[in-house]
Amino acid sequence: MIALPKSTAPGPPARRFQTLLSLAAACMALMQPVGAQQTTAQLAPTEEKTVTISANVENRDHAPARAYVNETLDNSSEGYYSRAGTSDVVLENDLARFVFGAVGQDLPKRDSNGNLLLSRGGLLDVQTEPSAPEALNKFVPSLSGTNAYRVEVESVEPRVEANGKAVVTVEGFDTSQPDLKVRTEYLMFRDMPGVQVTTSFTNTSEDQKASNVTPSDIVLWGAMTPFVPGRGWVTGSHIGEDVEFVFGRHDSQWMLIAPESGSMDAYVSGEVMGIAYGETVDMEPGETRLYRRWILVSELDPAYLFSLVLQKRTGQDYGSLVGRVIEREQGPDGSMIDRAPVRNAEIFISPLIRKDMAPEVIKNLSAKPYLIARTRDLGEFDTLLPVGEYQVFPATTTRLAPRPNFAAQIEKGKVEGLDFGTSKASRLVFRILDDATGQPIPGKLTFEPLRGTNPVSLGNLGDLQAGNVVMSAAGAGIVELPPGSYRVVVSRGIEYQMLEDRITIEMLGDTQKMFRLKRAFTTPGWISADIGVRTDATSTSRVSQEERVISAAAEGVDWIVTGDPGVATDLSDDIRNLGLTQVIASSPGFRRSGSTAPFIGDFLLFPTNICSTGLEPDFGPVLEAETAGSVVELMRALCPEAVVALTRPTWPQTGYLSLQGYTDNMPQLPEGDYTLDFDAFSIWEGKRQGVVRQDYRTFHKILRSGHRMTAFGGTNSHGTWSDEVGYPRVYIKSSTDDPSKIDPEELALNIKKGLVSVTNGPFIDMTINGQPLGSLVTDTDGSVELKIKVYAPNFSQISSIRVNLNGEMIRQVLLNPKLLDKQAGLVFPPAEKPQDGTLNIRVGSDAVLDVIVEGSLEATMDPVNPFLPFTRDRGLPQGQIPMALSAPIYIDTDGNGKLDIEPLDRMPVSPTQERDMPF
């Protein structure tokens, strides 16, 4: 709580503005300025008030700030933009966490092109907590204006100070003027969600000036979008020389950069912002200068961060603006009734522009927002503001709200109170039905605005309404949408056809819509599964157990297996409580993470609910094990029937094979004393399709070395939107198709047998000489009969089928996606030419045969399975490429009942072409 001193002199009363909205008046708003709806209530009596900035932290009992070298990976984010790892430096309190790039003798200073590595000493990651989304790519001080980074870092030192403070000091020099030494201190207090940054630069030369020195910062926003006061959301060009602060926003997280006093000069170019804090100067020998600014981060709203900084700025007088936003409607007697608080409404605050102002004054003001505040659970908002006059109005995009023609007068130490009313929201009320049965089914809605309609942002990355997506377990729901026209895509995983429709959302009413989804294909004898997904039991995931179940059901996954590090998360109670036992089943899995010290690799044991002891296993010894061999031994002792899987095998720093010295350019596995006694090997994780090729090659090297295991994949999903469950998913042979009757012990056994296919869209069903996937087929006549069927939904267009022996392509069937019957489900062979699905394959020696089905960059699966929705890189594909990999069938050609394959002495030929993949 921030308590401003009560005024000792009588001041103007706090004014309370109430907007009366009825249905009729709201409709009139479409024909006249909404300001005409406003009526002013009686002025509140004069009173003294205490300003309250909720969630401010000064009166809370906070732990001291810490600064340390990160010696483990336990708290390092695994997000797409993360660069945190061992030897990095961490500065944190219980409100924020900052990570700085390591500086060590064994780390290169320059990349392969000779450029300085910004990660050395640069601020890499800014978070409110480890599970928050990545909020920054890099922040680096510079002395060269707004377009270059030329400070080479020599040291990064953390230390803890008195009074709960901690600091990280980064020292280096200007590469173009080595005598120009640069020192930056990042000071964190125990009760501030960020740091005070002080950069000093000293010309250590005895006789030479340091020329053209401009104190600056370079900010690589990455996925964040910058906001500048008076300019709004910005994408490029010179912003101006009088910028007081800059915000960045990504998902639910806000980040503020502000000078401690005065203003700054800001430029934006793509995802990079350059900030200059003073004029370009020449420095005399021995001269020292410094510049100081704040970097704060929060998940509340930008007004909260601005209020914190405003109290620290020198020579700045301020008062407070408080208020609320309430949904109101007219009752039977004509009075206005408060219905509900309006959460997450944006409050736009702009300097007031009056007609009687002098032209030179008006010229320096902007009608664009100076600041944005957000309402909280009870519809309330509050912020500190510099003394002055402001225009304030709420905006919710889904409701009619007033644009008032009045000024909020902010006086030093005083409170201005405002009260806004809105109409009810514009909403879509939907149902999703199975077209064949007419019964409700779980599903997902994806909204794409049509021309003239703004993009929607329905929620955060871990929510069921997230980004432009809504997920429903019951096949029914209500979603608030801004009025306009949309393309809505309704889907339920890969076994249903995508349904596309056009809808128009009207203001002040509910739009009713029913969607009937058709089956694309059925998979008798197979269960679809996503193995190793995360819940909020993982520090880097925000998805609750209930939300995890619903998101999986909406994507048509039959069996979901958790994979939180260090704990076996059980979702069975959540499934029962949601009434989804006929839709989805679950089993716990236990992950021994590669981020757990000692660092020996990433391993997954599942399903742990079949452990023969009947008791909850004690996984403590597994976490403490110091070798992979002991991890495997302990896992098998705890759950002999379960699957012991090697996951993330080739990841840098944490991958088990990488730790053995393995790289993908080796023709064979490295020699050494390490175990390959695993049941399954993960070759595909989530949207990292670029890794599939190298892990596929590695998998076949393992098979050639005499070790037999099953290739599988999963999403390792940490979120919902942009991190969907089920892409890829594994299909496992099962005696039942009913999720309520799934036998996890049978599924574990079939995984070990290799009765598994991996896919993000197409489904492969094939036999050799009539034997199914995972079989050992004995055939000594030099030829086998391969029968292939490929199924796909209408949003997954395939272009090639590749038959591989021992990991190398021997036969390719090219398809024209335009000629495929996308509504039929069975896309190969053609219904009129079923013989095309039978191939005679010559096999001269023992071999492993598998099939890869792929699409192309020209026909991705967006929007059902997008790539990275928040990327601004137009060079990246906007959807995932359809792809499926069958389980191997083993061919014994010499009749000895086993597989004898000689290791390669060269690199295997890739079964796929580089241009077909997104990386």
Secondary structure of 412-459 in the HEC alphabet?
CCCEEEEEEEECCCCEEEEEEEECCCCCECCEEEEEEECCCCCCCCCC
**In a 3-state reduction of DSSP, which class is residue 133?**
coil
Rounded to whole angstroms, the Cα distance separating 652 from 382 reads 46
The secondary structure of 19-77 as a DSSP string is: E---HHHHHHTTTS-GGGGEEPPPPPPP-------TT--TTS-PPPPEEEE---STT--
Q: What is the residue whose two structure tokens read 């092109």?
A: 113
> For residues 736-754, b (16+ Cβ closer than 10 Å) or e, as one string?
eeebeebebebbbbbbbbb
Ramachandran angles phi, psi of 837, nearest 5°: -85, 0
Q: What is the pLDDT of residue 88?
A: 84
Mean pLDDT for each 10-residue chunk of the chain (919 residues)? 28 29 28 26 30 42 90 53 67 91 69 64 81 76 76 92 95 92 96 95 93 91 84 82 89 90 87 88 94 93 93 88 91 87 91 72 69 93 93 87 73 90 93 97 95 85 88 95 94 97 91 97 95 90 93 97 94 96 97 85 96 79 94 95 96 87 88 93 90 90 88 92 92 95 96 94 94 90 95 93 93 84 85 91 92 89 75 55 92 90 55 33
Q: Any idea of the CA torsion for 69, 71, 74, 77, to the nearest 10 degrees?
A: 50
The per-residue pLDDT for 402 is 72
DSSP 218-240: EEE-TT-EEEETTTEE--EEEEE
Cβ–Cβ under 8 Å, residues 381 and 373: yes
Contact 141, 216 (CB under 8 A): yes
Cα–Cα distance, 868 to 80 (Å, whole number): 9
Place of tokens 């990095």: 88
pLDDT of residue 456: 87
pLDDT value for 183: 96
Task: Provide the 8-state DSSP code for 652.
Answer: T
Strands (E), 189-317: 194-203, 210-213, 216-220, 225-228, 232-233, 236-243, 246-250, 253-259, 264-269, 272-276, 281-283, 288-298
Q: Residue 549's closest CA among 563, 539, 535, 537?
A: 535
Hey, which residues does 372 pair with through a beta bridge? 348
Residue 276 CA to residue 199 CA, distance in Å, equals 13
* Tens digits of residue pLDDT in 443-455: 999 999 998 888 8
Residue 268 is predicted with a pLDDT of: 86
Helix (H, G, I), strand (E, B) or coil at 545: helix
Q: What's the rounded Cα separation, in Å, for the pair 543 and 536?
A: 5
The 8-class DSSP code of residue 554 comes to H
pTM: 0.82
- 3-state secondary structure string across 729-753: EEEEECCCCCHHHCCHHHHHHHHHH
Dist. CA 228–CA 244, nearest whole Å = 8
On the 0-12 / 13-18 / 19+ scale of CB atoms within 10 A, 47 is: exposed
Per DSSP, the three-state class of 625 is coil
Give one DSSP letter per residue of 148-161, joined into a string.
Answer: ---EEEEEEEEEE-
What pLDDT shows up at residue 723?
86
Which strands form 246-250's sheet, in the order they lie side by side? 151-160, 166-174, 177-188, 194-203, 288-298, 253-259, 246-250, 225-228, 232-233
Report the distance separating Cα 884 and Cα 799, nearest Å: 12
Beta bridge partners of 805: 808, 849
